[in-house]
Amino acid sequence: MVVVFPALPVTAMTWSLRFAMRIPRFPMSLPYLMPGKNGRIRRLPSKIWVYGRWREGRVDSYSVGALDEREANTWRKRGISRMRLPNLTRYESIGINRTFNLADGHAHQPQSVSQRQIVGRLPELFDEAEYARQSDLEEEFRGLFYGLAGQRTAATLPRALCCYSASLSTDLIATYAASRGLRVALLHPCFDNLATIMKRREVPLVPLSEQQLSPERLDDTFANLAADAVFLTLPNNPTGFEMSREAWERLVSLCGRFDKLLILDFTFRFFSRQPFWDQYELLEQSGIRYLAVEDTGKTWPTQDLKCSILAMSPDLHADILELHNDILLNVSPFILRLLNEYLKDTEREGLPSAIWATIDRNRQMVREAIDSTFLFPENPDSTISVEWLRIRNPSIRSVDLVDRLHGHGLGILPGDHFYWADLSEGERFVRFALARSPEMVERACSILREGIGLR
């Protein structure tokens, strides 16, 4: 059980009462307390939120929102082990402030020569966006994006809405699901914000493993699925799991037979090495209900200037459009104009040169760095822009390894929260982001080996 300890007067409440009741959050400016030796209460050295775990009648671990390195080392020396932070985004926020940030999966690889030329034209692109029609920019963006992805059917769909992030697209889906009382089977593992967004909207979730989507189990999975919708990320972050075209066709057929809404997150699609084929043509011709999320933020290094697309089947358009109108009028025309140039550039240069080469080089360096260590790739065939590693040492938890590497200036993600329905399933995994400068990854790999005691 995870509990939060605010600084309430200890004379007015015993520790047993603290654990028995639900304590609300208080402003961050309040000081906080932790149990010290012999059950005494100790004031923490800074003003932070503390999460403790109640185990066998005592608090045996903690987690913090904002400790500096000196304070963190003090608590380590006192024998208090680090506990999980509430979600992966919290770990990402720590990682982006480390010297070597391999935590968040956003695109931070260096600009190519031709992409630098686009950056040099920013004032020109800004002026062009100012006078362009919004509908023209959106139409061009959808055409370029879907065309590059081999989704020609989607390029002319009138039911594809632009959003300023994939998280917003997901929140619109969650809001719709909640309004219809839908129970959703969500891929397990996946990035935890998909689950937390759904839970925030009070959408009931059912975990759906990758093994349940194997060709030999797919029919049984659907026959016994206690859910109204199936939510998949393809390729899957963090594992790189994909489905063949034949499995895809079977999936769509089963959604039709069992009347399931199919929700798809394609935000890592451009890292797939499978031959592109028109998935939207299959979706449209099948007549099933579907919602599909696309995004640029994981692929192009545009300093998080990005656009997501939320496409849908005809029967969902009116409801989703109304929700979309409640949230935003439009994505920035300047961002669309900029992204259109990056899409054109990638079309000219080709995905192998513009996107894949850097990811492949960085993956090779990480795999060489962990060779003959307690880390190894869980999916050797993964091609997406993150590397999912299993911890073979049973005495090391993912949060312990992450904490150790943080102390060396290297930010990565623990595997726990990817398994959103049972965090313990992820305790033996960590994730490394690969969309980075190869020079930085090379130095990070050296720090990694030092951090795990090989130098």
Which domain CATH number covers 176? 3.40.640.10
Please state, in angstroms and rounded to a whole number, the distance separating the CA atoms of residues 151 and 154. 6
Distance CA 188, CA 212 (A): 10
Contact 354, 346 (CB under 8 A): yes
- In this structure, are 148 and 176 located in the same domain? yes
- pLDDT for residue 16 is more than 70: no
- Tell me: pLDDT of 134 over 80: yes
Same domain, 59 and 95: no
Pairwise CA distance, residues 282 & 268, whole Å: 20
pLDDT for 448 equals 97
Both ends of the chain: CA-CA distance in Å? 38
* pLDDT exceeds cutoff 90 at 80: no
Percent of the chain whose pLDDT exceeds 90 = 81
Distance CA 177, CA 200 (A): 12
Question: What residues make up the domain containing 199?
Answer: 113-349
| Across 32-46, 58-72, 80-94, 271-285, least confident range | 32-46
> DSSP characters for 2-13?
EEE-----GGGS
Q: Which amino acid is at 427?
A: E
- Final residue in a domain of this structure, among 325, 349, 373: 349
My answer on whether 93 and 26 are in the same domain is no
pLDDT digits (tens, 9 = 90+) for 367-377: 999 999 999 99
Question: What is the CB neighbour count within 10 angstroms for residue 385?
Answer: 28
Beta strand 184-188 pairing with 410-411: unpaired
pLDDT of residue 454: 65
Domain end, chosen from 299, 317, 349, is at 349
Query: What number of CA atoms fall less than 13 Å from residue 407's CA on the CB side?
Result: 15
356 and 342 housed in the same domain: no
Indicate the pTM of the whole model: 0.85
Together in a domain, 335 and 391: no
Q: For the chain, give the longest Cα–Cα distance.
A: 70
Q: Is the pLDDT of residue 358 over 80?
A: yes
pLDDT digits (tens, 9 = 90+) for 369-410: 999 999 999 999 999 999 999 999 999 999 999 999 999 999
Residues 54 and 129 in one domain: no
Beta bridge partners of 376: 390
DSSP 111: P
Q: Residue 425 is part of a domain; what is its CATH number?
A: 3.90.1150.10
Quick check: bond before 235 cis, omega within 30? yes
Host H or E run for residue 429: strand 429-433
Same domain, 386 and 342: no
The answer, yes or no, to whether residue 60 has pLDDT greater than 70, is: no
- Please say if the pLDDT value at position 53 is more than 60: no
Task: Report d(CA 375, CA 290) in Å as an integer.
Answer: 38
Question: For residue 73, what pLDDT is reported?
Answer: 56
Q: Do 321 and 185 share a domain, yes or no?
A: yes
Residues 197 and 304 in one domain: yes
Q: Find the range with the poorest average confidence among 25-34, 144-153, 226-235, 257-266.
A: 25-34
Place of tokens 């009382």: 181
Is the pLDDT at 345 greater than 80? The verdict is yes
Query: Which among 258, 251, 267 is positioned nearest to 225, based on CA atoms?
Result: 258
| Average pLDDT rounded to a whole number, residues 7-27 | 34
What pLDDT shows up at residue 72?
Answer: 52
Q: Residue 267: what pLDDT?
A: 98
The pLDDT value recorded for residue 84 is 74
| Claim to verify: residue 260 and residue 220 sit in the same structural domain | yes
Residue 154 has pLDDT above 90, yes or no: yes
pLDDT at res. 453: 82
Average pLDDT of the segment spanning 106-121: 97
